[in-house]
Structure 1
Amino acid sequence: MSLQMKLCAITLDCPDPLVLAAFYQQATGLEPHPKSDAEFAGLNRADGLFLGFQRVDNFRAPCWPGQTAPQQMHIDFEVEDLDGAESRLLELGASKPDHQPDEGRFRVLLDPAGHPFCLVRR
């Protein structure tokens, strides 16, 4: 018998949950969770997926592509226009590391807390 599981939440550690939630809210259009605060903030998607951000004292950002502070996970987002999406996310506070494995197919960016995420051509 296989176990049936539905992904319901992804939570990222960070130094400032409200700042990171605002970045991802502007980037995705997801709705802010009404009980977000300085310790834990979140965004809701219509299908029930929750994207959470929890404050961690002495947060240490991942190091891309090195492993001195492993990324441990990253999120991928599909986009129609890689260049346009990258430009808008950089305006919102993302940064772009020098190491880009295959810029024609996807882009690696870092959110304001340093978590790597990818833009993938739809």
Structure 2
Amino acid sequence: MSTGSISSIRWSAVTFDCADPAALARFYGEAAGLPVLYATDGFVLLGRDGTAGLGFNRVADHRPPSWPDVSGAKQAHLEFGVDDLDAAQARLVALGAVVPDFQPDPGRWRVLLDPAGHPFCLSTLA
């Protein structure tokens, strides 16, 4: 499949939902020797420039997943770095993705649903 002049889409992170992004980032940062690349009160991204990272996203009333019971809500999602949010979104919608009505910060990132309904994000941050 040729991409021609279509905007590049690259895997940038796997993001984990949690109650305290800073605390979970400290744990994984120490465990994997990864520095903080980006941080806000509600999100921390660990990694190295040019490589995929680990993200930690604050979720209100977060409940940890239960193991081995897999009936709980999603706890992690893929993030893709893009150069142009609109172009990447259009390309992925053409491939079968769906754009849900709720977008928490559409100027910085976009949430899309894959054809099976799994959420993933597009961002120009990575």
Could you state the TM-score of these two structures normalised by the residue count of structure 2? 0.48
Could you state the TM-score of these two structures normalised by the residue count of structure 1? 0.49
**Which of 1 and 2 has higher RCO (CA within 8 Å, sep 6+)?**
2
